[in-house]
Amino acid sequence: MTAHSATATRVRTGGPKDDGPKVAEHVLGWVLVVVVAMLVTQLGLL
């Protein structure tokens, strides 16, 4: 078995190269940043 055929038969387990809802993930990341910032300011930690 060559290296090429060994990698071709591997099962995809996910990871950074998977295609997905990149825009939704980006927006949700920024929403999380804003929520954490609001929590920090409300608790007076900043």
Q: pLDDT tens digits for 22-36?
A: 888 999 999 999 999
Task: Confirm if 12 and 18 have CB atoms less than 8 A apart.
Answer: yes
pTM passes above 0.75? no
Mention every residue, 6+ apart, whose C-beta is less than 8 A from residue 40: 46
pLDDT band at 7, cuts 50/70/90? low
Which whole number is the average pLDDT over 6-26?
Answer: 72
Per the model's pLDDT, the better-predicted residue between 6 and 21 turns out to be: 21
What region, left, alpha or beta, does residue 29 occupy, with left being phi > 0 and alpha being psi -120 to 50 degrees? alpha
Per the model's pLDDT, the better-predicted residue between 30 and 9 turns out to be: 30
pLDDT value at position 1? 55
